[in-house]
Amino acid sequence: MNAPLLSIVIPTYNRCVWLDSLLYLLIPQIKDLNGSVELIVSNNASTDNTEAVIDRYYSKYPFICNTNPENIGAIRNIFKGIKLSTGNFVWVLGDDDFVRPKILNALRYILQENHEISLLYIPMVFWASETEYAYPDDILYDIRDYLIDKSDIKYRFTKYNTIKEIATPDKGYFNAISNFILRRKDYYEAFKIGENEIQEFSSIQTTFPHAYYIAKNLMSMSCVCLDSPGVVCSGKVTWGKYYEITWLKWYPELIIMMSTYGADRYSSRLARVGIINRHYYEMIPKLYSGKIEMYEYFSWFKYYTTNLFFYAFWRIHLSLISRFFRKFVFHS
């Protein structure tokens, strides 16, 4: 029996309502592709109704299931799913990300016709979601405008000679894992870091191992980029608690790494200035008071050295110092 063309790996933890919505949209598309796409769901010891959701869908369409006896962390759980996959390519799809109509058929066609590529980039559309939903139907109702199944829907794409051509700010430098498909062998190597004892989220390697691997090993390989979104994503659910540490530490490090390995340096610099101007004014006071989430992973040394040559960084500091003196010194 031939290996599937594509394996879809869904790591999940305590998001049974979201997983239910995703499987509702995903499985009918997989069933239509006659074995060319396989599904793997890895449950990271959820304590809600995740297992019941998996059982219900499995009874209708058997797929590969894994349930960890204890929570092993996000990186190791993703790696568990990758190790269970058998496809030539792997798509790691977040349990709070939803596929748009006919996208799997389009991805199958692209991968079959461009079998030599190392990466297929899939744009996302973001929607303003509620933090919690009680029922899957509520999620599906809120994203209904993105799920209209037009009979003439097409996913056009552009092919590039190198991945570094699309390593750009608008694509997030590949930080969002549901945005792209990689060869299984590359995904496996990227997430082998999950097998060691390094603390998750303590470094760029354990925060974005996929982007780290792409930067160091794949920037000169060919790729394909869809011209329109194939995934609907709610960023609030996944990254809300990582919001500040992402912009203060991880994302600047990611941009530096990408530009080191071939991404356009001018665009990278503009991206850094954009982050500083958009986020730092509100975050710096919380940072100095130690009130940011995930503060234990913050590095003061990297904070100053990576921002040393940005005027916008120092301008915001001077503005905050001036505001402090006007409020607490001159008015005391």
Summarised one tens digit per residue, pLDDT across range 4-41 is: 999 999 999 999 999 999 999 999 999 999 899 999 99
Instruction: Return the residue matching tokens 């496809």.
Output: 87
pLDDT above 70 (res 151): no
| pLDDT reported for residue 153 | 75
| pLDDT reported for residue 331 | 55
In the chain, the number of structural domains is 2
Q: What percent of the chain has pLDDT over 90?
A: 75
Residues 18 and 113 in one domain: yes
Rounded to an integer, the average pLDDT of 154-170 is 95
Burial 196-232 (b: 16+ CB within 10 A, else e): eeeebbebbbbbbbbbbbbbeebbebbbbbbeebbbb
Domain termination residue (choose one: 240, 268, 293): 240
Rounded to an integer, the average pLDDT of 42-67 is 96
Rounded to an integer, the average pLDDT of 293-315 is 91
Residues 117 and 229 in one domain: yes
| pLDDT reported for residue 127 | 85
Residues 140 and 46 in one domain: yes
Decide if 141 is inside a domain: yes
Nearest to 44 by CA among 18, 66, 20, 21: 66
Domain that holds residue 233: 6-240
Residues 295 and 159 in one domain: no
Q: What percent of the chain has pLDDT over 70?
A: 94
Entry pTM: 0.93
* C-alpha atoms less than 13 angstroms from C-alpha of 171 in its C-beta half-sphere: 24
* Token duo for residue 68: 């960890």
